[in-house]
Structure 1
Amino acid sequence: MSDRRLRVSAKRMLTSSICEIELRDPDGLALPPHPPGAHVSLDTPAGQRRSYSITNPAAEADRYVIAVHRQPGGRGGSVSVVDDTEIGSLLTVSAATSAFELVEAPRYLLVAGGVGITPIRSMLHHILGQGRSRVRLVYLTRTREETAYAEELDRPGLVDVVVLHHSAVAGRADLWQWLAEPDDETHVYCCGSTALMDDVRALTMHWRPSHIHFEDFAGVDALGGTSAPFTLTWEPTGGQIAVASDETALEALRRNGVRTSSSCESGTCGTCRLRLVAGETEHRDLVLTPPERESFVMPCVSRAAGAAITVAPL
């Protein structure tokens, strides 16, 4: 997946903290396709590698549009993208890839919270092109002023498709009204805060797991859930490294003097990708596609599924 330099061709604030940025090829060339739900990874002006969902329709081949939530208390990536770019800025951007694939289905329920609307909006445009009766969007924000694309979504033509819920006015949303009855013809797609996704997971326990899809734009808790120790073999030297249950494979590599590139360290950017030589992996990242997971691993969040794995640089 090769990177290319793209120009910031437009920029606007959707809310007080969410900035929309349009990226185009400086020479006007077409960009690699971006299926609904896809994302790109880019190098921020401050030097971090970050991933952002593409929000514009997949049919648009001449631009990628991302929406970035500026988070002053974060690791600095979003602040750099918003504050340090202007129209005309050049950014190094990956080709689009998708870990949040929109599968073909008769009907869809899309659930978005806050800036989680970004991949969901691309999906909505795609599905609407196939028929309005196939989709319902439930978009949860605190206030209308904090709702990205509010005017676009809150218009008469979409009144039977889009539900906007503002918790500061209406209180906590009752998602059960849409999730109570499992539907074998409906696929549910959810992107938003950890709390929202936990709610949707709990409310869809009686649905077919294959019909429920999530995108966690905030990244992965590398040590969440069960994290067993394992042995990691670094193929170039044959050295065996013990990875403790409370550390990541990337940290263990560093502890043993192995330097490998990294950036987000939350499984979203792809910078630390290594080649998987042997062993089974518990993949926790949000970057690798199913075919890529046969050959690669993200040591910042993923672990051995058994006692050991062997890895090598790309």
Structure 2
Amino acid sequence: MPERLHLVVAERDDLTAAVARFVLRDPDGAALPGYRGGAHVTVTTPSGQRRSYSLVDPGGRAPQQYVICVRRDPGGRGGSVSMHDDVHPGDVLEVTWPANNFALKRAKRYLFIAGGIGITPIRAMVGELRARGGAQIELLYLTRSAEETAFLDEFSEDGTLLHHSATSGRLDLWPHLEHPDDDTRIYCCGPTALIEEVLALTAHWRPSRVHVEDFAGVDALGGRRTPFTAVWAPTGQRIEVPADKSLLNSLRSGGVDVDGSCESGTCGTCRLRLLAGEADHRDLVLTGQERADHVMPCVSRALSQEITVAPTAP
């Protein structure tokens, strides 16, 4: 499991009617583990659920604070509602060390596309690049209305293309993506529909130049679903995973206690070691290298008839 910190909520304010900003600091004023733009932390909410939130300020080696923004989602599983309703200045939250699956890679030009709360990692990335200098930066920030736009004043003054669909309709992204450019990297974060549109419109680009992060997570029972067998290595127990049940829930039904939180492939809490067999990776957490010997059982399945899994090292 990632290393944990216990941080005090030093500030809280509302950026919009639905988006709250939280400033987290060490209770003794110590510097925090460093991070780069695109990183996130996983917060244990007062409800007990763990949720991953991007760090919205540019990173550094030893920052004095972490800043996250949380959009209230009444239709979610309660994590964001708990953050909005139950967290106040002075409270202490358990927070993991930063992790980064959306890291900046070198390029001469960057095109950022943010949809709604997807601005959070991109704000940190853009800030880092501007401080570094030397690269061309273009940012498209898409929201429903000005009233629902976090950091509206900041991005109204810096050359960002701000687009509000309630008054201007859907933005045509094709003129921005029509011509592939190996000197450009695209970073897109936002709702699933935006991610899918950007991926479709960049099918003629080199895949290595297009980077996306989807806050909505993954449907555990979407796509190809076939039954398979999971072997729990510590005991040798064989557990059947039917087509209509996730690996995580099948393990739990078999008496295997596996920690989990988001159950959408985004927080990394349920990570297991993959000892044998071929996994059908569907998560948004593991890197290409990590997928060789790890699996996220909340959303991922098996391509082979059988896989063997075990807890990660303590």
Would you say same fold, with TM above 0.5?
A: yes
Aligned to 1:124: 126
Aligned to 1:165: 163
Aligned to 1:236: 234
State the shift of 1:133 in Å.
Answer: 5.3
Residues 1:289 and 1:25: Cα distance change in structure 2 (over 3 Å): farther
Aligned to 2:27: 26
Aligned counterpart in structure 2 of residue 65 of structure 1, from 60, 64, 67: 67
Q: Distance in 2 between matches of 1:268 and 1:133?
A: 30
Kept in 2: contact 1:107–1:185 (CA 8 A): yes
Structure 1 segment 33-48 matched on structure 2, within 5 A: 33-48=34-49
Aligned to 1:292: 290
Identity of aligned residues (%): 55
| Letter of the 2:264 counterpart | S
SS in 2 for 1:104: coil
Which segments of structure 1 move beyond 6 Å, counting only runs of 4 or more? none
1:35-76, Cα deviation, whole Å (9 max, x unpaired): 111100011011111111111111371111111000112111
| Letter of the 1:123 counterpart | M
Residues 1:292 and 1:30: Cα distance change in structure 2 (over 3 Å): farther
State the shift of 1:195 in Å.
Answer: 0.9
Which stretches in structure 2 are left out of the alignment for 5+ residues? none
Aligned to 2:145: 143
TM-score (normalised: structure 1):
0.95
CA RMSD of aligned residues (A): 1.5
| Letter of the 2:229 counterpart | T
SS in 1 for 2:132: coil
Correspondence 1:96 to 2:94: no
TM-score (normalised: structure 2):
0.95
State the shift of 1:283 in Å.
Answer: 2.2
SS in 2 for 1:127: helix
Correspondence 1:274 to 2:272: yes
Aligned to 1:209: 207
Aligned to 1:13: 14
Kept in 1: contact 2:110–2:135 (CA 8 A): no
Q: Distance in 1 between matches of 2:233 and 2:118?
A: 39
Aligned to 2:187: 189
Q: Distance in 2 between matches of 1:179 and 1:297?
A: 33
Aligned to 1:255: 253
| Letter of the 1:210 counterpart | S
Q: Distance in 2 between matches of 1:144 and 1:132?
A: 31
Q: Distance in 2 between matches of 1:184 and 1:253?
A: 44
State the shift of 1:132 in Å.
Answer: 6.9
Q: Distance in 2 between matches of 1:313 and 1:119?
A: 30
Kept in 2: contact 1:253–1:259 (CA 8 A): yes
State the shift of 1:126 in Å.
Answer: 1.2
1:156-175, Cα deviation, whole Å (9 max, x unpaired): xx22xx10001111111011
Q: Distance in 2 between matches of 1:36 and 1:246?
A: 38
1:97-137, Cα deviation, whole Å (9 max, x unpaired): 01112111111100000000000111110111233751100
State the shift of 1:10 in Å.
Answer: 1.0
Correspondence 1:86 to 2:88: yes
Q: Distance in 1 between matches of 2:205 and 2:28?
A: 47
Larger CA deviation: 174-183 vs 251-260: 251-260
SS in 2 for 1:129: helix
Larger CA deviation: 294-303 vs 119-128: 294-303
Kept in 1: contact 2:107–2:135 (CA 8 A): no
Which stretches in structure 1 are left out of the alignment for 5+ residues? none
Q: Distance in 1 between matches of 2:290 and 2:245?
A: 24
Aligned to 2:198: 200
SS in 1 for 2:269: coil
Q: Distance in 2 between matches of 1:75 and 1:181?
A: 40
Q: Distance in 1 between matches of 2:145 and 2:231?
A: 51
1:269-294, Cα deviation, whole Å (9 max, x unpaired): 22222222222322222233444333
